[in-house]
Amino acid sequence: MKEELARITALTPKQRTDVLLWLCRQAESTRIEIMMSRFHTFHQVKKKYQQKAPFIDYCALIIACKNAGWVAEAKYRSSASLSTNEIKKISRRRISRAKELSRTSTNERLAVHWGKIVELKHQGLGFRKIAQFLSLELRLTVSHTTIWKLWRKWETDG
Domain boundaries, the chain: 2-97, 113-158
Q: What is the mean pLDDT of residues 117-131?
A: 93
Please give the DSSP secondary-structure letter assigned to residue 157: -
Q: Which residues contact 18 (CB under 8 A, 6 or more apart)?
A: 70, 74
Start-to-end Cα distance in the chain: 58
pLDDT tens readout for residues 28-60: 888 888 888 888 888 888 877 776 667 888 888
Q: Which residues contact 70 (CB under 8 A, 6 or more apart)?
A: 18, 19, 22, 23
What is the arithmetic mean of pLDDT over 58-70?
82
How far, in Å, are 39, 92, 140 from residue 95 at the CA level? 27, 5, 24
Tell whether the model's pLDDT for residue 90 goes beyond 80.
Answer: no
